[in-house]
């Protein structure tokens, strides 16, 4: 085996040739780990953003919204009105949908909205949970204010507690992201009062 002399030290050709390759492998591993950590951090950041309530809107009548409602079985409720203002000074936003949390599915549904909703879909996503979504697609320009009115209907007697939601969508760095404003309501559904005898 040939040997080299360098700065008064002897070493083998084989040992000398292996050392740079081992260092390159370590650097490559560190780069891969850094990329994985960056991607994971980005995903966590997006999920954390999406889990938060939208800061682009202000609910003007939030303090007046009821936390408990009594519904008569198979009868329409009084309108539940949410007054929304786009407080974002630069961009339009879209009220993409309103919704009900999964906990309400067994006894409450949205009978109607003003403006009218389009399609209805059941959703189930990580972070968000499960909900029923009633599509709206209403655009609010900066500073614009809009009232969304819900009409509820009780479908089974009992007490049901869960969130009523308004989904707000906006572009973030060219990507459309939606976040939900939530208001917890306890619904009590009772038998409708009998019609008075004529």
What does the pLDDT look like over 118-168, one tens digit per residue?
999 998 977 768 999 999 999 999 999 999 999 999 999 999 999 999 999
CA gyration radius for the chain?
29
Q: Are residues 122 and 184 in the same domain?
A: yes
Joined tokens for residue 60: 């003007």
pTM of the model: 0.68
In a domain, 43, yes or no: yes
My answer on whether omega of the bond before 115 falls inside 30° of 0, hence cis, is yes
Q: Are residues 92 and 151 in the same domain?
A: yes
Residue holding tokens 């572009």?
171
Q: Are residues 86 and 32 in the same domain?
A: no
**Domain assignment of residue 60, given as a range:** 55-190
Q: Are residues 46 and 88 in the same domain?
A: no
| Res 72 pLDDT > 80 | yes
Q: Are residues 43 and 62 in the same domain?
A: no
Range with lowest mean pLDDT among 28-37, 71-80, 177-186: 28-37
Separation between Cα atoms, residue 169 and residue 49, nearest integer Å: 12
């Amino acid at each position: 085996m040939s040997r080299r002399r360098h700065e008064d030290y002897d070493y083998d050709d084989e040992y000398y040739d292996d050392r740079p390759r081992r260092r390159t492998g370590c650097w490559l591993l560190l780069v891969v780990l850094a990329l994985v950590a960056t991607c994971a951090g980005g995903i966590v950041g997006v999920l954390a953003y999406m889990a938060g309530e939208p800061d682009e809107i202000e609910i003007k009548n939030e303090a007046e919204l009821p936390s408990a409602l009594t519904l008569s079985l198979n009868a329409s409720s009084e309108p539940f009105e949410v007054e929304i203002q786009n407080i974002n000074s630069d961009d339009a936003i879209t009220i993409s949908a309103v919704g009900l949390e999964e906990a309400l599915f067994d006894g409450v549904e949205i009978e109607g909205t003003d403006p009218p909703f389009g399609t209805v879909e059941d959703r189930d996503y990580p972070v968000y949970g499960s909900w029923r979504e009633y599509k709206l697609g209403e655009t609010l320009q900066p500073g614009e204010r809009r009232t969304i009115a819900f009409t509820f209907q009780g479908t089974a007697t009992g007490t049901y507690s869960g969130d009523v939601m308004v989904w707000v969508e906006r572009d973030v760095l060219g990507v459309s992201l939606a976040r939900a404003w939530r208001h917890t309501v306890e619904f009590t559904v009772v038998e409708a009062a009998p019609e008075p005898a004529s």
